Amino acid sequence: MSYCTGADVKAIIDTELEADDPELENLIAESDQEIVDRGLTGRSALTLQYISKYLTAEQLAMKNPIPDKSISDSTGTHAPEYYRAMAERRIAETQMTPTTGGVVPGAVIDNAKFPWE
């Protein structure tokens, strides 16, 4: 079972792959394996979906150059680092700790910066 779908990924990055394309499904599987390998499976289904689609979008962005679109477009305008940073920020925000009840202290979130910050 995948944490996200091809349609979820296509909603955040411009790609010529169809939502049910086997290549996209393989990229989702790789992202989901990273989630498992990092021990992140205890998070909510919505959080896992978010992380999976952004990790998959990162892979797509690494494979294909950014399309020729204006920066105001909602999809396909970001470098791979953007998608990784979005996933890592959600991971940090939902880190399970005994003292915070699942909320990460501000200092930890402050360290989860975008590469360009």
Q: Is the pLDDT of residue 52 over 70?
A: yes
How is the chain split among helix, strand and coil, in percent rounded to 5? 50, 0, 50
Q: Is residue 25 situated within a structural domain?
A: yes
Q: Is residue 61 situated within a structural domain?
A: yes
pLDDT band, very low/low/confident/very high, at 94 (cuts 50, 70, 90): confident
Could you tell me the CA-to-CA distances from 58 to 6, 14, 15, 19 in Å, in that order? 14, 12, 12, 16
Q: How many domains does the chain have?
A: 1
Domain with 96 in it: 6-111
Q: Is residue 1 situated within a structural domain?
A: no
Average pLDDT over every residue of 99-116: 49
- pLDDT, tens only, 4-31: 999 999 999 988 899 999 999 999 999 9
Q: Which residue has the higher pLDDT, 59 or 104?
A: 59
Q: Is residue 116 situated within a structural domain?
A: no
pTM of the model: 0.75
One-letter amino acid of 5: T
Q: Is residue 90 situated within a structural domain?
A: yes
User: What is the model's pLDDT at position 63?
Assistant: 86
Q: Is residue 94 situated within a structural domain?
A: yes
User: What is the model's pLDDT at position 95?
Assistant: 77
Q: Is residue 117 situated within a structural domain?
A: no
Q: Is residue 79 situated within a structural domain?
A: yes
Give yes or no for a contact between 46 and 57, defined as CB atoms under 8 angstroms apart.
no
Q: And the tokens for 39?
A: 């021990």
Q: Is the pLDDT of residue 113 over 70?
A: no
